[in-house]
């Protein structure tokens, strides 16, 4: 009897939640309980609640404060525990009528939940027909396989094999970046060859970066280090370069040291008059691998290697790399932004476009004006050959230029005029702005001036933004420095975490 009463109460509660959420289309209806309804829905663990989250996600994309509701739906995906919830999400993710972003979010939700799924559903080839969905599927399927959360009982095993072999075969067909290989216990020669091919030849720079990371993790002895690293440094895309440097340090590939010394020498020679982030990054990687602090001077590293390299590498041992050795050596002469040293000549500057920027004060002027003042000071320190762009973080990111431009006085004036004319009363879509920036693979550093919040776009919850950005960073190698212009410990922690993921810094003027 008690169980019946509880079931009825739950059903009524879900009916009320559904009614409130479907009615939430504008400010008034959103404020009439929609946020609390979405939060309550995230905690409901039954099939009807799962179906409702899936049904409503895409309908709330353009509604007032819809991002707040969608992030709660995503939180509900992350909390999934049952096989039925997992299958409902996986079936929706395979449906080509579902929006691409929702399909990605569903796959990420399954990946990070504890739900099991049907092997047959996971093998749906629809996952391979959209590039971004395919990348999300590769990682999700790899995690599910690694954690034994796939029920292969509905899959016919191949002759002389296991049903799981069909999933591994689909990893092969999925193509670059072959993320699924990251979760296998070992790789075949063909799989290693696929990764090498992707690391060298994939059209998308982010795919090359992921293939490099997976290959170095799974098969460092077949890393094809010289060819892959040289290819990465022949290109100006930050993703593959960062992947090489982090992969050799994380996997303690000591034989990479002479190659890194060569790259350091090449970078210094190629850009003698420009700040170069990768000079500092290569120097940091050398210090991490060797435990020796020779700064970023190629001559000192070459001399040490010629005199002591063979004996050092003979004694180098796994486990000797220290995290503290990765700290970059800062040059006091590089340009500074709110006191943060910025050793890059390919910079994107993102200024929060929300109302708080015109309402709050910093250094005797409103935050928007203070940000523009600092942008002017910073650009004046960079050489004319440096490239930059500027944008405001609004409901849809607004860029001052169509592409990166040289740091001329004319272009600096255009940037300041652009910042001065923005209204600073919009909602802000922080993650979307970062996604937009990385479409130009030459950008290696981003400077963010923000109150630390996000109220539009793909995510607003800091935890969801951070997870999505960590995935983006693995592909792009984008370094982010953050300036917090509000008194909020919560937002300070978020921006510090965002910067830390990339090796960047956060300040609170």
331/172: higher pLDDT: 172
Range with the lowest mean pLDDT among 172-176, 317-321, 424-428? 317-321
If you search the block for the tokens 């829905």, which residue do you land on? 41
Q: Return the HEC string of 443-457.
A: CCEEEEEECCCCCCC
Per the prediction, the chain carries an average pLDDT of 93
322-332 mean pLDDT: 52
pLDDT above 60 for 15: yes
Token pair in block for residue 157: 């095993």
Q: Give me the pLDDT at residue 335, please.
A: 93
Name the band, by pLDDT with cuts 50, 70 and 90, for residue 323.
low
pLDDT above 80 for 321: no
Q: Which long-range contacts (CB under 8 A, 24 or more apart) does 168-176 make?
A: 170/123, 170/125, 170/128, 170/141, 171/138, 171/141, 171/142, 173/128, 174/127, 174/128, 174/134, 174/137, 174/138, 175/128, 175/134, 176/202, 176/204, 176/207, 176/208, 176/210, 176/211
If you search the block for the tokens 């476009």, which residue do you land on? 353
pLDDT in tens, 426-454: 899 999 999 999 999 989 999 999 988 89
pLDDT > 90: percent of the chain:
84
SS3 (DSSP) at 294: coil
221/351: higher pLDDT: 351
Q: Give me the pLDDT at residue 489, please.
A: 85
- Identify which of 335, 332, 331 has the alpha carbon closest to the alpha carbon of residue 377: 335
SS3 (DSSP) at 53: helix
Backbone angles phi, psi at 504, to 5 degrees: -90, -175
Domain positions in the chain are 2-172, 252-329, 335-507
Q: Give me the pLDDT at residue 330, please.
A: 54
Q: Give me the pLDDT at residue 262, please.
A: 96
pLDDT above 70 for 1: no
Q: Return the HEC string of 57-120.
A: HHHHCCCCCHHHHHHHHHHHHHCCCCHHHHHHHHHHHHCCCCCHHHHHHHHHHHHHCCCCEEHH
**Cβ-Cβ contacts under 8 Å for 506 (sequence gap 6 or more):** 481, 482, 483, 484, 492, 495, 496, 498, 499, 500
Range with the lowest mean pLDDT among 118-122, 359-363, 458-462, 504-508? 359-363
31-54 mean pLDDT: 96
35-40 mean pLDDT: 96
pLDDT above 70 for 12: no
Q: Is 472 within 8 Å of 135 (Cβ atoms)?
A: no
Strand runs labelled E in 302-455: 335-337, 340-342, 346-352, 361-362, 365-366, 387-393, 398-399, 405-406, 445-450
Q: Give me the pLDDT at residue 435, please.
A: 97
- Measured at the CA of 468, the angle between CA 109 and CA 236, to 5 degrees, comes to 140
d(CA 322, CA 287): 9
- Measured at the CA of 497, the angle between CA 435 and CA 356, to 5 degrees, comes to 70
Token pair in block for residue 15: 């009916």
156-174 mean pLDDT: 95
352-359 mean pLDDT: 90
Range with the lowest mean pLDDT among 142-146, 155-159, 293-297? 293-297
Q: Give me the pLDDT at residue 316, please.
A: 85
Q: Give me the pLDDT at residue 8, please.
A: 38
CA 36 to chain centre: 29
461-469 mean pLDDT: 97
CATH of domain 335-507: 3.40.50.410
**Residue 5 CB coordination number (10 Å):** 9
180-209 mean pLDDT: 96
pLDDT > 70: percent of the chain:
95
41-70 mean pLDDT: 96
Name the band, by pLDDT with cuts 50, 70 and 90, for residue 312.
very high
pLDDT above 50 for 419: yes
Q: Is 81 within 8 Å of 115 (Cβ atoms)?
A: yes
Token pair in block for residue 435: 């996604």
Q: Give me the pLDDT at residue 328, please.
A: 53
pLDDT above 90 for 136: yes
46-61 mean pLDDT: 97
pLDDT above 70 for 176: yes
**Cβ-Cβ contacts under 8 Å for 409 (sequence gap 6 or more):** none
């Amino acid at each position: 009897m008690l169980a019946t009463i509880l079931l009825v109460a739950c059903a009524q509660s879900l009916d009320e939640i559904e009614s409130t959420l479907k009615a939430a289309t504008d400010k008034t209806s959103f404020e009439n309980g929609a946020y609390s309804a979405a939060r309550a829905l995230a905690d409901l663990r039954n099939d009807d609640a799962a179906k409702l989250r899936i049904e409503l996600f895409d309908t709330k994309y353009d509604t007032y404060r819809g991002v707040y509701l969608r992030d709660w739906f995503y939180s509900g995906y992350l909390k999934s525990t049952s096989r039925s919830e997992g299958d409902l999400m996986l079936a929706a993710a395979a449906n080509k009528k579902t929006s691409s972003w929702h399909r990605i979010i569903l796959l990420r939700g399954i990946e990070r939940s504890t739900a099991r799924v049907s092997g047959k559903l996971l093998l749906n080839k629809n996952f391979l027909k959209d590039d971004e969905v395919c990348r999300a599927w590769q990682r999700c399927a790899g995690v599910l396989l690694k954690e034994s959360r796939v029920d292969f009982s509905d899959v016919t095993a191949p002759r002389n094999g296991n049903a799981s072999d069909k999933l591994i075969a689909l990893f092969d067909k999925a193509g670059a970046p072959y993320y699924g290989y990251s979760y296998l216990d070992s790789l075949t020669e063909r799989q290693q060859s696929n990764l090498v091919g992707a690391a060298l030849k994939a059209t998308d720079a982010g795919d090359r970066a992921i293939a490099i990371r997976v290959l170095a993790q799974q098969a460092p002895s077949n890393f094809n280090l010289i060819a892959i690293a040289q290819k990465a440094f022949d290109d100006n895309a930050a993703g593959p370069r960062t992947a090489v440097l982090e992969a050799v340090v994380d996997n303690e590939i000591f034989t990479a040291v002479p190659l890194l010394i060569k790259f350091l020498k090449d970078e210094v020679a190629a850009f003698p008059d420009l700040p170069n982030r990768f000079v500092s990054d290569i120097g940091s990687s050398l210090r991490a691998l060797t435990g020796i602090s020779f700064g970023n001077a190629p001559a000192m590293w070459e001399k040490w290697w010629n005199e002591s390299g063979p004996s050092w590498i003979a004694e180098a041992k796994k486990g000797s790399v220290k995290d503290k050795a990765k700290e970059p050596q800062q040059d006091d002469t590089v340009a500074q932004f709110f006191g943060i040293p910025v050793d890059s000549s390919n910079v994107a500057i993102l200024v929060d476009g929300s109302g708080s920027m015109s309402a709050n004060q910093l250094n005797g002027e409103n935050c928007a004006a203070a940000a523009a003042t600092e942008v002017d000071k910073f650009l004046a320190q960079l050489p004319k050959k440096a490239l930059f762009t500027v944008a405001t973080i609004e409901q849809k990111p607004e860029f001052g230029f169509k592409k990166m431009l040289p740091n001329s006085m004319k272009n600096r004036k255009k940037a300041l005029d652009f910042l001065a004319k923005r209204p600073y009363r919009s909602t802000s879509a922080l993650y979307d702005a970062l996604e937009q920036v990385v479409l130009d693979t030459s950008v290696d550093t981003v400077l963010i001036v923000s109150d630390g919040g996000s109220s539009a776009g793909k995510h607003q919850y800091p935890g969801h933004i951070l997870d999505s950005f960590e995935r983006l960073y693995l592909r792009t190698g984008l370094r982010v420095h953050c300036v917090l212009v509000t008194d909020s410990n919560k937002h300070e922690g978020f921006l510090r975490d965002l910067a830390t993921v990339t090796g960047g810094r956060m300040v609170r003027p």
